[in-house]
Amino acid sequence: MLEKPDPTHEKRRISSLLLMLSTLISRLLGIVRVRLISTVFGADGTADVLNFTFSIPNNIRKLLAEGALSSAFIPVLTRAVNQDESSLKNSHAQHLLARILGFQAAVLIPLTVSVWIFPEAVITFLSDFSDPHQIAMAAVLLKYFIIYLLIISITAVIQAALNCRSIFYVSALAPLIFSTTVIVSIIFLSDRFGAYAMGIGVLAGGLLQFFFQLTAYHKSGYRLSFSFQFADPDFRVVMKTFLPVLLTSGIFAVTQQVSFYLASRLPIGAVTALSNAVVFWQMPFGVFYVSIATVFFPAMSRDFQKNDVSGLQKNLEKGIGYIVVFLLPSAIILFFLSREVVFSILLSGKFTAENANRTADALQAFLPGLVFAGLFNYIQRFFYSIQTVFNAVKAALLYAILDISITILCIVLKFDVISLGIGNSAAYIMAFIIQLHFVRMELPELMSGTAAFRNFFRVLAANVPLVILMIVYKLYANAWYITGSTLRNFLLLLLIGSASGLVIFTSYRLFSVDFLYRKKGLNK
């Protein structure tokens, strides 16, 4: 059936691809960072401290930066930007942004001061470290990381404003600056400062990332200002949404922190194995899910503000479809090549084969839930865009209960670090299934047409050749990767990965899978 090209969706598709490419580079740099940490510090107590301590600001950031707060204020900010565009002014958005920044300052400055005064108490409370040296090192690092949290939280507000103006190139490039700075710091400063070199790099990278985005922010007509006059209608709407969203994100943050706590109770090296596995898992998750959600979340919010139910449904289904298109083959490839990836990238210096096997086992346990994690989190964004956050809270609470319960059960059964991956995967799968029921209550038309199901099964069928290729490879390939991180092994891994990518790309073209290939003028 003929249909007119949709320039808006084409623009969003291109924006998503740009973000995917830049995020891919950023995640590759993240893997380089992990390799450096593994090479320099191995998987001993120092590496555990680095990975555990950095998880603390990352989890808080999900509450007060691009997580809960952004999810709450982007729909309201989108409406303010639309009002400004119609009146050719920036006043509505500027006033809201100033109040959001003021709110962040009011919360984060006292938190930062408290952490600087009582860093060891925070580490002792959140971890199960018993070595005084580990606690002291973590306390110093936490001081660096908490300042980074303050900087990156302000940067997240700036980034949200740019995204609502459909300016995505800054979001694409900024993480590259951060990752490069951390890598350079570890390379050149670790001999002199040891583990603290990462703290210096994180703080410097956060500052550079902030100033880079601030330039584009000013060019868009905004100024960096802080207002503490919170008696504002738009700000009150944000806060009304923020509290339940904060509860939702808090549930996720607590769940992840519990995972790191449980890992810290396992034999030494478990925290590093968990952290490394999550880095590889987040490679496709960050590249594909985050890029798609970054583009489609403001679009769904805009559709809701305009009462465009058809557009809202279309954007929701498009996002769901694109997440499956990219995350399904990613999960398949990483599952079959987990040891090849971990050994070829991390096995060097103080990082041993035992450490590599432990990381690969943990990674495999996380991968069955990869697609469902993307779908679950995207639908959470849908709930935020239509301001029905109670459904998001229920879904998040269900996920947390399942994740922690299943993880503890697996630890009791002596499954070691893979317990964390099993709990994560099982929780995402079960929570997503129940979450779909909530979506159908809000949008009964979702996935109701035969075209949506046809596209879904087309993607599944298009991945069958990839599964066959991976099975054949595992049956006939030897353990070439056990020699570790060498140029030969890296090139072999690149060759196998490229062949897998070529197979899925060709299969997607043959099956005319949306996003990568579409016949012009045809509604497939």
- Work out whether the CA dihedral 14, 20, 23, 25 comes out positive or negative: negative
Residues 6+ apart with CB under 8 A from 290: 19, 23
Q: Which of 58-62, 125-129, 257-261, 487-491 has the highest mean pLDDT?
A: 487-491
Task: Give the per-residue pLDDT at 450.
Answer: 59
> Is 522 contained in some domain?
no
Mean pLDDT of the chain: 84
| Packed helices 132-164 and 45-64: angle between N→C axes, nearest 10 degrees | 30
Give 161-182 pLDDT, tens digit per residue. 887 777 777 777 888 888 899 8
In a domain, 519, yes or no: no
Instruction: Kindly tell me if the per-residue pLDDT of 1 is higher than 60.
Output: no
Does residue 211 lie within any of the structural domains?
Answer: yes
Which whole number is the average pLDDT over 487-514?
Answer: 91
Higher-pLDDT residue of 64 and 333 is 333
Whether residue 336 has pLDDT greater than 90: yes
Residue 119 covered by a domain = yes
Question: pLDDT at residue 370 above 80?
Answer: yes
Rounded distance between C-alpha atoms, residue 325 and residue 463, angstroms: 9
Mean pLDDT computed over 337-342: 95
| Residue-number span of the structural domain to which 496 is assigned | 7-510
The stretches of 370-448 forming alpha helices (DSSP H) are: 370-385, 389-412, 418-442
Tens of pLDDT along 182-209?
899 988 998 888 889 989 999 999 999 9
- Mean pLDDT of all residues in 397-402: 94
Q: Does a structural domain hold residue 517?
A: no
pLDDT mean over 487-503: 92
Task: Look at 216-225, 361-370, 394-403, 418-427 and tell me which has the smallest mean pLDDT.
Answer: 216-225
Looking at residue 230, its pLDDT comes to: 86
Q: Which pLDDT score, from 0 to 100, does residue 65 have?
A: 60
The highest-confidence range among 36-50, 212-226, 283-297, 468-482, by mean pLDDT, is 468-482
Report residue 3's pLDDT band, with 50, 70 and 90 as the boundaries. very low
pLDDT grade for 495, boundaries at 50, 70 and 90: very high
Q: What pLDDT score was predicted for residue 68?
A: 65
Work out the pLDDT band at 410, boundaries 50, 70, 90: very high
Give the closest residue to 201 by CA, choosing from 180, 173, 175: 180
Give dist(CA 416, CA 254) in Å, integer: 21
Q: Where does the pLDDT of residue 359 fall: very low under 50, low under 70, confident under 90, or very high at 90 and above?
A: very high
Write down the pTM of the prediction: 0.74
Position 522 scores a pLDDT of 34
Task: List Cα–Cα distances, 518 to 70, 396, 514, 523, 524, in angstroms.
Answer: 33, 35, 6, 9, 8
Query: Quick one: pLDDT at residue 340?
Result: 96
Name residue, tokens 């500027």.
94
Q: Taking each helix axis as running N to C, give the angle between helix 338-346 and helix 487-510, from 0 to 180 degrees, rounded to the nearest 10.
A: 140
Mean pLDDT of 496-502: 93
Q: How many domains, in total, are found in the chain?
A: 1
Answer left, alpha or beta for residue 514, where phi above 0 means left and psi between -120 and 50 means alpha.
beta
pLDDT digits (tens, 9 = 90+) for 75-102: 788 878 777 766 656 577 888 889 989 9
Q: Work out the number of other CB atoms within 10 angstroms of the CB of residue 345.
A: 24
More confident site: 35 or 42: 35
In-domain check, residue 238: yes
Q: How confident is the model at residue 523 (pLDDT cuts 50, 70, 90)?
A: very low
